[in-house]
Amino acid sequence: MKKYLSRRSLLKNSLAIGAGLTILPNGLAGLRASGNKLSIALIGAYGRGKAHWRSIKSENVAAICDVNEKNLGIAAKEFPNAKKYIDWRKCLEQKDIDSVFICTPDFSHAHIANWSLNRGFHVYCEKPLGITVEESRILRANYLKNRKKVATQVGTQRHAAPNFARVRELVKDGVIGDISDVYVWGNRKLHKKGYPPAKGSPPKYLHWDLWIGPTSFHPYSPEYFQGTPGRGNNCLSWNMYWDFGTGQIGDMGSHTMDLAWNALDANLPLSAEAEGDKFNPEVTPVELKAKFDIPANDWRKAVKVTWYQGGAMPKSPSKWLDLDKIGHGVIFKGSRGYIVSDFKKRIIIPYGKKRKEADMTYYKPRSKKDLIPVVGKDRFQKEWINACKGNLKTSCNFDYSGKMTEMMNLSLVAYRAGEKIKYNGKTGRTDNPRANEFISRKYRKGWPING
Ligand SMILES: NC(=O)c1ccc[n+]([C@@H]2O[C@H](COP(=O)([O-])OP(=O)(O)OC[C@H]3O[C@@H](n4cnc5c(N)ncnc54)[C@H](O)[C@@H]3O)[C@@H](O)[C@H]2O)c1
């Protein structure tokens, strides 16, 4: 067998040879599952992981990993043939896996994803793709280095909805003319005072030291595990703290900004400025307004993108449109009007009577055959699974989503610096030495990001 096979030919070959020994494209030897199935390690097996069970059940879930043994036990009932782990570093050593599905808290995404890419695995990683500018850059760079061998997808599954394609068509086809500004917002408010004080000892089934993983140590508190009502996910209990998340810009912002980025073919900003709540060294801001200068590209001029969260809101383009009724939304402002959109619906507001353009005669809707294909509800994970077995193409790979997350994480750098910063997307540095200190974070001893 040739030493370097493409994934495609590899999978074809493994189909032919069943569960025989194969050589992974990166030179690693491994046993893979028969029947053209991916061999997936699910890391973070419950909570958000549970929401993906159905999507990955068609494949061979060969490993499950969770620092909470109770959660691991529940997932094991769903995947009885999977090997069980509590430490993801050990899980990644399992010889027969070829792909990793990451549903752990945000502060371990970059580590698990980067280690996985280093081992030549395909990766699906829940949003956000890292909690610092540097983390997003590391993952993007590693993916770009390996893009001919691996498929990646960031868990912004709303991207698969038809509205994402329809908004992109409207913007690109000029229904509101030349885009100058985009306003993106989210209304969720999670007020926290500071890291929860130490309370009791971790229950026996929870491996606290592994939960903390690469991030700065904090003592156990049950407050980190309050669960979202009705779903049991704990993300809203920890993602407001600097060492554990990025607050709402990385949380719902990952979805809402995606609506804007997808329509703009955006690239890294040239500058960022942000203001919001008084700085709290333990908690990310509830209220935040962040403005970015996005460079022009080959089909549109430069655009200003502004993010609003936790009470900060853009002005409504019309007095009869109450933006407070749209929890998470985007306004595109163009030379001929506005598009207002949430995840599922959109409204076009052409400029009023005084402007001739309001008749919209300049705009011609696409014919059915020219519509942008929609990934489709419940198909987003499948898109990644198919990509792993085929052309490696996904909608939200680590290049597209990595850049978007890098920009969002830059807002917090600007917020902490307290002034407008210029940004160099090539070097990942700003013109402000103080701001540069917030581009990255320190990891706990023994937890390198490049493992
Ligand atoms: N795409 C979406 O719509 C969406 C929705 C909810 C959550 N999320 C994302 O999913 C991720 C998980 O969120 P959640 O609310 O389920 O969090 P959670 O705290 O409930 O953790 C999820 C699971 O991961 C396990 N876990 C924690 N640390 C681990 C580690 N180091 N190794 C292995 N397992 C570990 C937990 O025990 C739990 O079973 C977050 O990044 C969040 O942003 C995405």
Partners of 21 in the beta sheet?
31
140, 55: one domain: yes
SS3 assignment, position 223: helix
445 within a domain of the structure (yes/no) = no
Which CATH number do you get for residue 149? 3.40.50.720
Provide the residue range defining the domain that includes 86: 14-158
91, 175: one domain: no
Residue 15, pLDDT score:
34
Query: Is the Cβ–Cβ distance between 331 and 338 less than 8 Å?
Result: yes
345 within a domain of the structure (yes/no) = yes
Averaged pLDDT of the chain: 92
Atom 40 in ligand 1: which residue has the minimum CA distance? 105
448 within a domain of the structure (yes/no) = no
Is 126 a pocket residue for ligand 1 (Cβ < 6 Å)?
Answer: yes
449 within a domain of the structure (yes/no) = no
pTM of the model: 0.93
Mean pLDDT for 355-362 is 75
136, 153: one domain: yes
Q: Which atom of ligand 1 is nearest to the CA of 48?
A: 16
Last residue of a domain, which of 136, 158, 180?
158
Is 134 a pocket residue for ligand 1 (Cβ < 6 Å)?
Answer: no
Spacing, Cα 132 to ligand 1 middle (Å)? 18
Is 88 a pocket residue for ligand 1 (Cβ < 6 Å)?
Answer: yes
Is 71 a pocket residue for ligand 1 (Cβ < 6 Å)?
Answer: yes
Query: Is the Cβ–Cβ distance between 344 and 328 less than 8 Å?
Result: no
Is 202 a pocket residue for ligand 1 (Cβ < 6 Å)?
Answer: no
**358 falls in which pLDDT band (50, 70, 90)?**
confident
Residue 356, pLDDT score:
61
> Does residue 84 carry a pLDDT above 90?
yes
User: What is the Cα 332 distance to its own chain's centre?
Assistant: 22
The C-alpha atoms of residue 121 and residue 7 are separated, in whole angstroms, by 11
Mean pLDDT for 126-139 is 98
296, 334: one domain: yes
Enclosing H/E stretch for 85 = strand 83-85
Which residue spans within 120-248 are E strands per DSSP?
Answer: 122-125, 152-154, 179-186
109, 151: one domain: yes
Residue among 282, 104, 287 at smallest CA distance from 197: 282
Rounded alpha-carbon distances, angstroms, from residue 272 to 90, 185, 302, 410, 413: 40, 16, 14, 7, 9
Which CATH number do you get for residue 299? 3.30.360.10
**354 falls in which pLDDT band (50, 70, 90)?**
low
**230 falls in which pLDDT band (50, 70, 90)?**
low
78, 174: one domain: no
Mean pLDDT for 138-165 is 98
Is 65 a pocket residue for ligand 1 (Cβ < 6 Å)?
Answer: yes
311 within a domain of the structure (yes/no) = yes
Mean pLDDT for 183-202 is 98
Last residue of a domain, which of 137, 158, 179?
158
- Neighbouring residues of 437: CB distance < 8 A, sequence distance ≥ 6: none
321, 357: one domain: yes
The more confidently predicted of residues 131 and 9 is 131
Spacing, Cα 383 to ligand 1 middle (Å)? 21
Residue type, 68: N
The C-alpha atoms of residue 129 and residue 403 are separated, in whole angstroms, by 9
Is 214 a pocket residue for ligand 1 (Cβ < 6 Å)?
Answer: no
pLDDT tens digit string along 235-278? 999 999 999 999 999 999 999 999 999 999 999 999 999 999 99
22 within a domain of the structure (yes/no) = yes
The more confidently predicted of residues 418 and 354 is 418
Mean pLDDT for 201-223 is 98
> Does residue 65 carry a pLDDT above 60?
yes
What is the number of domains present in the chain? 2
250 within a domain of the structure (yes/no) = yes
117, 169: one domain: no
Among 70, 235, 328, 381, the mutation site with the greatest number of ligand 1 atoms within 8 A of its Cβ is 235
Among 50, 53, 74, 103, the mutation site with the greatest number of ligand 1 atoms within 8 A of its Cβ is 103
Query: Is the Cβ–Cβ distance between 41 and 100 less than 8 Å?
Result: yes
SS3 assignment, position 248: helix
Residue 378, pLDDT score:
85
Q: In the chain, pLDDT over 70 holds for what percent of residues? A: 91
263, 301: one domain: yes
The C-alpha atoms of residue 214 and residue 207 are separated, in whole angstroms, by 14
Residue among 103, 56, 101, 104 at smallest CA distance from 78: 56
**35 falls in which pLDDT band (50, 70, 90)?**
confident
Residue 353, pLDDT score:
63
Is 107 a pocket residue for ligand 1 (Cβ < 6 Å)?
Answer: no
Last residue of a domain, which of 158, 178, 213?
158
**77 falls in which pLDDT band (50, 70, 90)?**
very high
For residue 364, what are its two tokens?
Answer: 């011609």
pLDDT tens digit string along 286-336? 999 999 999 999 999 999 999 999 999 999 999 999 999 999 999 999 999
Buried b (16+ CB within 10 A) or exposed e, 333-363: bbebbbbbbbbeebebbbbeeeeebeeeeeb
Is 139 a pocket residue for ligand 1 (Cβ < 6 Å)?
Answer: no
Mean pLDDT for 128-151 is 98
Is 258 a pocket residue for ligand 1 (Cβ < 6 Å)?
Answer: no
Is 430 a pocket residue for ligand 1 (Cβ < 6 Å)?
Answer: no
Spacing, Cα 313 to ligand 1 middle (Å)? 29
Spacing, Cα 342 to ligand 1 middle (Å)? 25
Residue 8, pLDDT score:
37
Query: Is the Cβ–Cβ distance between 334 and 353 less than 8 Å?
Result: no
Spacing, Cα 226 to ligand 1 middle (Å)? 13
Is 235 a pocket residue for ligand 1 (Cβ < 6 Å)?
Answer: yes
51, 67: one domain: yes
Q: In the chain, pLDDT over 90 holds for what percent of residues? A: 88
137, 170: one domain: no
Is 122 a pocket residue for ligand 1 (Cβ < 6 Å)?
Answer: no
Is 104 a pocket residue for ligand 1 (Cβ < 6 Å)?
Answer: yes
**355 falls in which pLDDT band (50, 70, 90)?**
low
Phi/psi-derived region of residue 177, left when phi > 0, alpha when psi is between -120 and 50, beta in every other case: left
**34 falls in which pLDDT band (50, 70, 90)?**
low
Spacing, Cα 136 to ligand 1 middle (Å)? 18
431 within a domain of the structure (yes/no) = yes
Atom 24 in ligand 1: which residue has the minimum CA distance? 44
Spacing, Cα 109 to ligand 1 middle (Å)? 10
24, 170: one domain: no
SS3 assignment, position 23: strand
> Does residue 5 carry a pLDDT above 80?
no
